Structures are given as C-alpha cells and as structure tokens.
Amino acid sequence: MSSFDFSSTIEGKLYTGRYSVVRENITVSCEFGEKTIQLGSTYSKTMARTVLGEIVRGELRRRGLSLGRPLAKEALSPDPQP
C-alpha cells in the first residue's frame, strides 16, 4: 500500500496530511486524527483535501475556534432537550 503526503490551506493556515487508497476507500490522517471514507469517482487527491478539511474544521470546532475567532457559546453547546 502506498501513501502520499499532501498539504492544503484551511481557514487561512497550511495543514499537512497523508492519504492512502485501498480498493475503494481513502484514508486521510493528520495531526488531529484519521478518517476513512469510500472514494467513489472523485479524484483521490481532491477527496483527500476535502477530508483533511473536515478533520481540521472538526478539531477547530472542538477547540471553540473558527476562522481564527472564538465561536459563540451557543454554537458549542448541544441542542437543548425538550
């Protein structure tokens, strides 16, 4: 199995990741975690950048950051239970 290093600018900052393709699945990993999804007909490097963006933005939300600014508390709290 081969893996490929790549980088992408997300929210104004350069992030690096690594991806590998096995059969129809692509696995993307970076300093914030790893995610595997079905590749489909999308070019693998394009999908790797998309998945890296999902991982990074998820981590930024988890830390309460977005576009370099704190998110409103309401955006971080779960939906209120009825």
Helix residue ranges, H only, 1-82: 44-62, 73-76
| pLDDT of the residue at 7 | 96
Mean pLDDT for the stretch of residues 1-9: 93
**Comparison of pLDDT for 11 and 73, the residue scoring more:** 11
Q: Is the pLDDT of residue 80 over 50?
A: no
pLDDT of the residue at 1 = 74
Residue 9 has pLDDT above 80, yes or no: yes
Q: Is residue 11 a contact partner of residue 57, using CB atoms and an 8 Å limit?
A: yes
What confidence tens digit (pLDDT) does each residue in 20-70 have?
999 999 999 999 999 999 998 889 999 999 999 999 999 989 988 765 555
